[in-house]
Amino acid sequence: MSLHAQTHRLMAPDIAAMKRVKPIVALTSYHAHTAAIADKYCDLLIVGDSLGMVMHGFETTVPVTLDMMIVHGRAVVRGARRALVVVDMPFGSYEESPSVAFRNAARVMKETDCGAVKLEGGRRMAETTRYLVDRGIPVMGHIGLTPQSINVLGGFKTQGRTRDEWPAIEADALALSDAGAFAVVLEAMSAPLAARITEQVPIPTIGIGASSHCDGQVLVMEDMLGLSPRVPKFVKKFGAVATAIEDAIRAYAEEVGARRFPGTEHTYAMKDEPRDLAAVTKKPKKLST
């Protein structure tokens, strides 16, 4: 007889049901130990292809590979116990056709055991979204600023700041909802447009730089922790991790340089000899003549 896990891991329908019920708390995560911490407070953990910039030093998310996403996705799933884990499909892994998208998304689901995947793009991804959902793969959409399209957009530019841009972006959100996406990320979008879309679509909107009108919020974890050197305007730093890390490394280097670390309490003594490290390392006295 199989044993069910004591903690229920949230699934895509659970997140969808939170719309207008409670704000959805989400963060990105790329490794097991941060996932374990965030899991205590988050409903949703997104293994974003932003890991290419945050973890690997790329200038954009475009160079990220499917294998990279799978390695990090697997780590986050191992670290989390309750939150729904969503893994980004990287550039080039889903745009060619719905069948190619399914093959790659199925691999991500099987090899990471995540609960959903995320695709960038609105109406152009509606057919693919429907294709995946019909075959058992939950899909989160992503519209507004889509970082994988940065070379077409001409940079990381806020979307929907003029009203003539609104109809196309609204149509993107509605198309993804109609295609079966369980939620949609709104990135770097004007607040009035984000509020309007949130009211229009029956699925949760997850904002990142799209105002508190959204049904939930997500930030890149390293950005909000104060670990990233440069962050977008919409990021609030909730910590000063970079400073804490530098202080710790400086103290470590000073103690190593002064031979204060490691101390006796950090070493292994012989079982039948005293732990007095000073006595062991003490130079023998010269014999008098």
- Could you report the per-residue pLDDT of 66-87, keeping only the tens digit for each? 999 999 999 999 999 999 999 9
The helix (run of H) or strand (run of E) holding residue 135 is: none
Tell me what percent of the residues of the chain surpass a pLDDT of 90: 84
Name the CA dihedral angle for 135, 138, 144, 147, rounded to a multiple of 10 degrees.
Answer: -90
Residue length of the chain:
289
Please, are residues 237 and 225 in contact by the beta-carbon 8 Å criterion? yes
> Coil, helix or strand for 87?
strand
Comparing 87-96, 153-162, 194-203, 268-277, which segment has the lowest mean pLDDT? 268-277
Confidence of residue 201 (pLDDT cuts 50, 70, 90): very high
**In the chain, domain spans:** 12-239, 244-281
| Summary mean pLDDT of the chain | 93
The active-site residue out of 59, 95, 170, 187 is 187
Tokens 């709104």 identify what position?
186
pLDDT digits 0-9 by tens, 7-66: 689 999 999 999 999 999 999 999 999 999 999 999 999 999 999 999 999 999 999 999
* Residue 289 reports pLDDT greater than 70: no
**What is the average per-residue pLDDT within 103-123?**
98
pLDDT digits 0-9 by tens, 156-169: 788 889 999 999 99
Confidence of residue 153 (pLDDT cuts 50, 70, 90): confident
Give the pLDDT score at 198. 98
Of 282 and 207, the one with more pLDDT: 207
Of 153 and 192, the one with more pLDDT: 192
Token representation of residue 254: 């000073």
Tokens 């008098």 identify what position?
288
Q: How many other C-beta atoms are found inside a 10 Å radius of the C-beta of residue 156?
A: 13
- What is the rounded distance in angstroms from the CA atom of residue 138 to the CA atom of residue 119? 11
Which residues are CB-contacts of 3 (< 8 A; sequence separation ≥ 6)? none
**What is the average per-residue pLDDT within 145-173?**
91
Confidence of residue 278 (pLDDT cuts 50, 70, 90): low
Nearest to 14 by CA among 85, 75, 89: 85
Give the pLDDT score at 71. 98
Is 187 a residue of the active site?
yes
Give the pLDDT score at 243. 96
Backbone angles phi, psi at 44, to 5 degrees: -140, 130
Fold of 12-239: TIM Barrel (3.20.20)
DSSP state of 96: S
